[in-house]
Structure 1
Amino acid sequence: MLSNKIEKIITKYLLNQASFSELEALELWLLDSENEKVFKEFIKTNYLIDSSLNKYNTSLSSKKLLAFITQEKQTIRVKRFRNYLKYAAVFIGLIMVSYFFNVGKDTSTNAPILVESIQTGKDKATLTLENGTIVSLEKGASFNNKNAQSNGEKLIYLNSTNKESNKIAYNYLTVPRGGQFYLKLSDETQVWLNSESQLKYPVSFTKGKIRVVELIYGEAFFDVSPSTNHQGSLFKVHHKDQDIQVLGTTFNIKAYKDESSIYTTLVEGNVAVSFKETQKNLSPNDQLNLDLETKTAIIQKVDVYNAISWKDGVFSFDEKSLFEIMRVLSRWYDVKVVFKDDAIKEEEFIGVLSKNQNIEDILKSIKNFGLVKSYTIRDKIIILE
């Protein structure tokens, strides 16, 4: 039997409004196998109704949702639990969007005009070798040379060091709009590059010297191989407006050419961010916002999940303006976004979206929330009004 208390908690959870204590109570309640059955039935009855959803496996969807919620039954760790809930929200979001917009065709004057299908982003990049040769990397195209190999979905460099007397050879990995790519450097540092990004790095690092790479533009998540594995060699990420020095840690840098700020978000470890003659030290969950116009920096505590979820196939937006959201989506779907009414740019949205989700479903959801009156897609241009 579903009590009023638990029903309210589930409803608040689905609306992303549940408190930590309520989430903890929900997980404890789900430890009972009979409650699992009640939970599945509640989701099916209240959120997966309508014959237009027959193409979806509603049983499987509720199982996936339940799996996310109960994955860590042995130990209740609220912070991690909340992250699982955010992932789970993707499944509900996708299904509910389909429910709201497949019930019938919209014949009103505000119906969107869809001229062509916009593809979701995928793993793709171009590799520029030290001799200037350009190699296309994408699924189905393999690449191998003496330094690296790729299956088209990731690029792995051989574990090697450069002799100090040798000239350092640099490669460039460029990810276009509508792309993403994974890279493992020769020191085993892992890098995830987001859409519209470029990284410059040595084919191999010089033994005993600082390991330096350059984020020329875009966004990258780094999981740095510890200095203890490299005779104490520090790791530095250079950008024309700042430098980040680390011993071994995980962090995200967002430095797009069309944005007036650089965001550095620390997940684990410690980093020192330097710009001009200033240095700021970050602790886990800190995000440094460097304003390129005023040359000032602000550090604040953030939910790092929102900053790094993109590398795991999810966009997490927490009170972000529609302008900011569409800027992110425009890179991933390789489209241009035009606002016919500047006022709607500041409308805020809270939600979690799968990167595999169709852009048209996302636009329908945004329209359903009342953020826009209508949208039109023409020649990879999205017009919002």
Structure 2
Amino acid sequence: MKKITIKYITNTISSKELSELKVLLREKKNQDLFKDYIKDYYDIHTLLNKPDIDSAYKKIWDTINEKEQPRQYVLPSWFKYSSAAALIVLTFSFSYFFINNQKPINNLNSFEEVVSPGVDKATLTLEDGSSVVLEKGQHYNTEEVESNGEQIVYNKKGSTSISYNYLTVPRGGKFEVKLADDTQVWLNSESELKYPVTFKKGETRQVVLVYGEAYFDVSPSENHNGATFKVVSNLQEVEVLGTEFNIKAYKDEESVYTTLAEGKVSVRNDVFKEKLNVGEQSVLNEVTGNIKIKTVNVYNETAWRKGIFSFKNKPLKEIMKALSRWYDIDIIIKNKKLEDIRFNGVLSKSMNLEEILEPIKRNINLNYKVYDDKIVLE
């Protein structure tokens, strides 16, 4: 439903897909999904006042009912001023927008054979060192834990002894875990979390983000006799009472980014201790140990959790890192002059990588070659 919705909004939907969408939208549950996705897709990204989502949805719904040819679709009036809806904006001293009158994207067999979007998958490593592969459609159940292949849930009434598990998500994967205290964690591609199978009553609830990116929705401390929750990651410690936040601490990046979505947290290391307010992000430099605080768009920093790439003034180098992790393929920028070109764009993580690279190729004179284990941008 997400992919076909994006194709409609971005004017890349075929006549056949439009017919499929109309059929899907006959069902109330799909109408609700459609509306929710439009809200997620637009509401943070308008550069003017926040749009009236209900009105925008009605306009889109009316257009679907009237629409005969996909290319006749008119975007909502507030949308043309926004950076959303998979418009990739090339930023130099001015911006180029491209959405209409695009040439059809060629279907390259090499892409289909080599590259595919990420899926739900992870490896669970138990206290004794044994491991279990978790994949969508496969179930794993014990007295302590159960998984449906998309999420792993720990039983609050599990073992009383303290043991630790590791959940490792490879490149090209994502996974969710619900800890024994009801804290929920979403793990992005190429990430690893260490955590206790159970928590001792009254003691600090502590987990370790070994590397990668994770979004935490922490169970409030009042539900656990006042016990605080801590996340230890490379060179820093985040302490919370009950909140939602994102930590990005990849091994191939020089900084650790902590973004607060709700509540309050403090970020500390041996030198600094800083408190974050909602909408703020701490940036820890792993070389100097310094922590800087800046205001960010929380949606842009956490959209990955909802299956969306949201790039706001991001250099091509950073975008390609994110794509490499999700599509599990190395992307090498051979022409170093391209690395710092900045883009705005919102894209579904279910899109084919080719659908993302082709518009970039057409607008910055970019060529790329696809190999079995890598893509080279020239």
Length-normalised TM-score, structure 1: 0.76
Tell me, yes or no, if the aligned pair for 1:115 and 1:379 is still in contact at 8 Å.
no
Find the aligned partners of 2:345 and 2:285 in 1 and give their Cα distance.
26
Shift of 1:160: 3.4
Shift of 1:199: 0.3
Q: Residue in 2 aligned with 1:288?
A: 282
Contact 1:179/1:195 (8 A) holds in 2? yes
Superposition deviation, residue 97 in structure 1 = 7.0
The one-letter code of the counterpart of 1:102 is: P
- Which of 305, 308, 319 matches 1:314? 308
Matches within 5 A, 1:160-309: 160=157, 166=161, 168-309=162-303
Supply the distance in 2 between the matched residues of 1:347 and 1:44 (Cα, whole angstroms).
Answer: 38
**1:139 maps to which residue?**
136
Q: Which residue of 2 aligns with 1:351?
A: 345
Matches within 5 A, 1:68-107: 89-90=85-86, 100-102=102-104
Give the structure with the larger helix fraction.
1
CA distance in 2, matches of 1:362, 1:135: 33
Q: Distance in 2 between matches of 1:323 and 1:101?
A: 26
Compared with structure 1, are the counterparts of its residues 365 and 272 closer, same or farther at alpha carbon in structure 2 (3 Å cutoff)? same
Taking a change above 3 Å as real, the CA distance of residues 86 and 157 of structure 1, as seen in their structure-2 partners, is farther
Residue number in structure 2 paired with 1:151: 148
Cα deviations by residue, 1:242-299 (Å, 9 ceiling, x for unpaired): 0000000000000000000000000000001111132100010000000111211110
The structural deviation recorded for 1:180 is 0.3
2:36 is matched with none
Matched, 1:374 2:367: yes
- SS of aligned partner of 2:339: helix
Unpaired runs of 5+ in structure 1? 1-9, 51-57, 70-80
Give the CA deviation at 1:130.
1.0
Shift of 1:41: 8.7
3-state DSSP class of the match of 1:363?
helix
Q: Following TM superposition, by how much is the alpha carbon of 1:198 offset from its aligned partner in structure 2, in angstroms?
A: 0.4
Cα distance, 1:363–1:149 mapped onto 2, change above 3 Å: same
RMSD: 3.5
Q: Would the alpha carbon gap of residues 229 and 17 (structure 1) be closer, same or farther in structure 2, given more than 3 Å must change?
A: closer
**8 Å Cα contact 2:114/2:372 also seen in 1:** no
Which one is further off, 264-273 or 372-381?
372-381
Q: Provide the rounded CA distance (Å) in 2 between the counterparts of 1:378 and 1:239.
A: 35
1:178-222 Cα shifts (integer Å, max 9, x gaps): 000010000000000000000000000001100000000000000
* Separation in structure 1 between the aligned mates of residue 253 and residue 185 of structure 2, nearest angstrom: 22
Structure 1 residues 247, 348: closer, same or farther in 2, change over 3 A?
same
> Looking at both structures, which has the greater relative contact order when contacts are Cα pairs under 8 Å and sequence separation is at least 6?
2
Q: Deviations over 1:25-84 (max 9, x none)?
A: x769759x7x66875599876xx329xxxxxxx8xxx9xx98xx9xxxxxxxxxxx99xx
Matching residue of 2:71: 49
Q: How many angstroms does 1:329 deviate by?
A: 0.5
Show the counterpart of 1:4.
none
> CA 1:272/1:36 → structure 2, altered by over 3 Å: closer, same or farther?
closer
Distance in 1 between the 2:53 and 2:224 partners?
A: 43
**Residue 219 of structure 1 contacts residue 256 of structure 1 at CA under 8 Å; is this kept in 2?**
yes
Task: Determine the C-alpha separation between the residues in 1 that align with 2:46 and 2:234.
Answer: 42
Is the partner of 2:219 in helix, strand or coil?
A: coil
2:235, 2:289 within 8 Å by CA — same for their partners in 1? no
- Runs of 4 or more off by more than 2 Å in structure 1? 16-21, 26-31, 35-45, 96-101, 111-117, 160-163
**Most deviating of 112-121 and 308-317:** 112-121
Q: Report if the CA contact (8 A) 2:176-2:186 is conserved.
A: yes
Rounded to whole Å, the distance in 2 between the matches of 1:374 and 1:156 is 45
Aligned-pair CA distance for 1:346: 0.6
Give the AA of the match of 1:127. Answer: L
**Larger-gyration structure (1/2):** 1
The 1:156–1:145 alpha-carbon spacing in structure 2 relative to 1, beyond 3 Å, is: same
Q: 1:20 aligns with which of 48, 71, 81?
A: 48
**Number of equivalenced pairs:** 328
Alpha carbons of structure 1 residues 158 and 361: separation in structure 2 relative to 1, 3 Å: same
